[in-house]
Chains A and B, each alone.
Chain A
Amino acid sequence: MTNRQGAYCLLLFMVPILIYVFSSDWAFVPMRDGVLIGAFTMMYLGFCVIFILAMIAGPGANELLEDIGEINTPGLVKIVLFLLGAVAVTFWHEAYGFVMLCSLFLAAVSWFAGQTSPVGILIYSLIVSTALYLLFSLLGFDLSIAPGLKVEFL
């Protein structure tokens, strides 16, 4: 993929944002000082589009983007699962316990990252989740080991 093709991808990324802002009911409402609420937002979006166009038309447009070749379907699946896991840990750690849920998350991610030994994954995930629990609990954050199980630190 070249810089130009990458810039087209960026343009695609910007389209829904442009549609959202320019079709919103707040963007064109004037404030007490006469400035539209969305004036700065729209101006900055305009800059984004101008610089994307500069990438498309610019002299380096045909240069190759080296890293983009590493994008692959299994990698994308891992990323989606990682994102879901991160949301699950954040929203459910109070209900299921931080150490329990974080251990599962760490085990899955270390497997995704190439760790294959089940014993290694188990030991690693338990040690790291416990260490994170201790560190953040000592710093005053409210976390639990398992549902209803907490260690009180002074």
Chain B
Amino acid sequence: MINFDALQTALGMVFALDTILWMIVGIAVGVGVGAMPGLQSSTAVALMLPLTFNMEVAPALGLLIGLYKGSVYGGSISAISFATPGAPEAAATVADGYKLMQRGKGKKALHMALYASVTADFLSDLITIFLAPALALVALKFGPSERAWVLILAITLIGALSGRRLAKGMFSAALGLYIGTMGSDPIGLVPRNTFGLWWMRDGVPLPPLVIGIFAMSMVLQELMKPAVVAVARDKASKLADVLLSKSEGLKLREYLSCWKEMMIGLGVGSFVGVLPGLGATVGAFLSYAVAKQVSPHKGIGNGALEGVAAAEAGNNATVGPTLVPLIAFGIPGSATAALLGGALILQGVTPSPRMFDLFPHIIYALFIILLLGNIANLAVGRAFASVYARIGEIPRAYLVPLIGAMAVLGTYAYQQNPYHIFIMLACGLIGLMFRYLSIPAAPLVITFMVAPLAEANLRKAVLISGGDWFHTLFNSPLSIGLAVACVMSVLAAIRFKMNENAMITDRDDE
């Protein structure tokens, strides 16, 4: 049922000048960040998170969701222009996008990327709006035992979906769980795992952790590089010339001819977005692969607009659905969703199915911002594409110190506690180690948020059942079903890994 009072409040919150302005700022910065090779949406959201500490909830959501949407689309600009994806999720766009660029159809490719991104993003947001409340209704029927199993299932899925990097993904998840136990235990509030430091008694706060893992690690890695690498100025200028020229843009007929690929992107991206730990990169590649299989005659991979449409629809369609597990179960679907969850917690709103009862106006505001963000993304992307094309010219020598200073100031801005800088820098060093050892950072952030919830629910369930662990864990058919799902996901991961190893061995033998 729609709560019309809450809807009216939400409309007032979203259509306020500051919310609209911060959303536009978020998208403008997000597209720029996405267009800049090396910077990702999670880095941008982590860096901008401190700006939201003193904001109202709607402008904060506008800024962060704008950043997220903008940066996922923005990656296509450098992917098409220089064959250098601005972010991993745009890598699937390179094959067709860059070939179109070389054939002088760069403007068409860039417009197709924008329209496919916005179309799939908008439709996937509608799916989110219908799916999240339905799942939240189911989640509300869960007791502590079922909630604990759902959280365990999310953790096993993160591992199962890590693909080739199963052990690394699971190590990252386990380390996130360990860091999540720092501070005090969630039931008795007894200090533990504080390394004897008084300022660790409140545990590791989310902002220093994410700023360290995503932004600081990037700065430290850039400082390690002996030479500063920048995109060649002539290439960027050439791209700007293409965009400013009167060459033919995308025709409506061409856009409509890619409907099948956009729908594939929508379906695959939405499905991938809902699963915890996968994210936009998998959405883009999977959608691209399915589109190639379904339409072999369209020449996807050889410079086809359909390839650009499939990849871009696939990555942007994950943006909305990644919030579904966050809202319905309190489990972030991706690192960026974890950051959005963190922003909500900082605003005093804990993401959970109870949000629909306690803060319906914020849920509505979130949904409206998701939809409205697409219009802003379209407008900003269309009007300023030529400006973003020049972003590759910004020397790293200017960018790295700015990100470093923002990370330091942003960490301090959260609670003005100078000791948090130590946490942020330690997380930065862990992030740097992850970068060099090719360990994914997203599982760490997701499980870090899930760890206290899982422990609290499990121990509450044990207390309710009078200390009987077996009865705690398997007290209902749903608990047993979820436990089976956990075992299945682990077995599927192991089976997948074994098959993959067998294939590699066969190939080596040949």
Cβ of A76 and Cβ of B224 under 8 Å apart?
yes
* B167 close to A (CB within 8 Å): yes
Q: Which of B412-430 contact A (CB under 8 A)?
A: 412-413, 416, 418, 421-422, 425
Given the interface pairs A109-B401, A128-B401, A139-B55, the reply to whether A44 lies near B501 with Cβ below 8 Å is: no
* A15 close to B (CB within 8 Å): no
* A152 close to B (CB within 8 Å): no
Chain B residues whose C-beta falls within 8 Å of the C-beta of A41 in the assembled complex: 178, 181, 192-193
Cβ of B455 and Cβ of A40 under 8 Å apart?
yes
Binds A, one of B73-81, B314-322, B372-380, B435-443: B435-443
Q: Which of A27-69 contact B (CB under 8 A)?
A: 27, 29, 31-35, 37-38, 40-41, 44-45, 47-48, 50-52, 54-55, 58-60, 65, 67-68
Query: Once the chains are docked, how many angstroms separate the CA of A94 from the CA of B421?
Result: 15
Main secondary structure of the interface of B (DSSP, over half): helix
Cβ of A9 and Cβ of B437 under 8 Å apart?
yes
Cβ of A132 and Cβ of B435 under 8 Å apart?
no
Cβ of B433 and Cβ of A129 under 8 Å apart?
no
Chain A residues whose C-beta falls within 8 Å of the C-beta of B190 in the assembled complex: 26, 29, 31, 37
Contact of B438 among A65, A105, A136 (CB under 8 A): A65
Q: Kindly report which residue of chain A lies nearest to residue B401, judged by CB atoms.
A: A109
Contact of A75 among B174, B223, B455 (CB under 8 A): B223
* A71 close to B (CB within 8 Å): yes
Main secondary structure of the interface of A (DSSP, over half): helix
List 7 tightest A-B contacts by C-beta distance, closest first: A75-B224, A114-B228, A47-B174, A109-B401, A51-B171, A54-B167, A115-B397
Given the interface pairs A9-B437, A34-B467, A44-B174, the reply to whether A110 lies near B226 with Cβ below 8 Å is: no
Cβ of B396 and Cβ of A113 under 8 Å apart?
yes
Chain A min CB distance to B309 (Å): 32
Query: Once the chains are docked, how many angstroms separate the CA of A41 from the CA of B397?
Result: 41
Cβ of B463 and Cβ of A33 under 8 Å apart?
yes
Query: Once the chains are docked, how many angstroms separate the CA of A34 from the CA of B167?
Result: 32
Chain B residues whose C-beta falls within 8 Å of the C-beta of A140 in the assembled complex: 54
Q: Kindly report which residue of chain A lies nearest to residue B55, judged by CB atoms.
A: A139
* A82 close to B (CB within 8 Å): yes
Q: Kindly report which residue of chain A lies nearest to residue B402, judged by CB atoms.
A: A128
* A106 close to B (CB within 8 Å): yes
Cβ of A38 and Cβ of B193 under 8 Å apart?
yes
Chain B min CB distance to A21 (Å): 7
Q: Kindly report which residue of chain A lies nearest to residue B185, judged by CB atoms.
A: A37
Chain B residues whose C-beta falls within 8 Å of the C-beta of A47 in the assembled complex: 170, 174, 177
Query: Once the chains are docked, how many angstroms separate the CA of A47 from the CA of B455?
Result: 15
Binds A, one of B97-105, B134-142, B403-411: B403-411
Beyond A17-B178, A105-B408, list 17 extra A-B contacts (CB 8 Å).
A9-B433, A10-B171, A26-B191, A31-B188, A32-B188, A37-B188, A37-B192, A51-B170, A52-B171, A70-B225, A71-B436, A74-B226, A75-B225, A86-B404, A91-B421, A106-B401, A113-B396
Query: Once the chains are docked, how many angstroms separate the CA of A79 from the CA of B431?
Result: 13
Q: Which of A57-103 contact B (CB under 8 A)?
A: 58-60, 65, 67-68, 70-72, 74-76, 78-79, 82-83, 86-87, 89-91, 93, 102
Query: Once the chains are docked, how many angstroms separate the CA of A58 from the CA of B171?
Result: 13
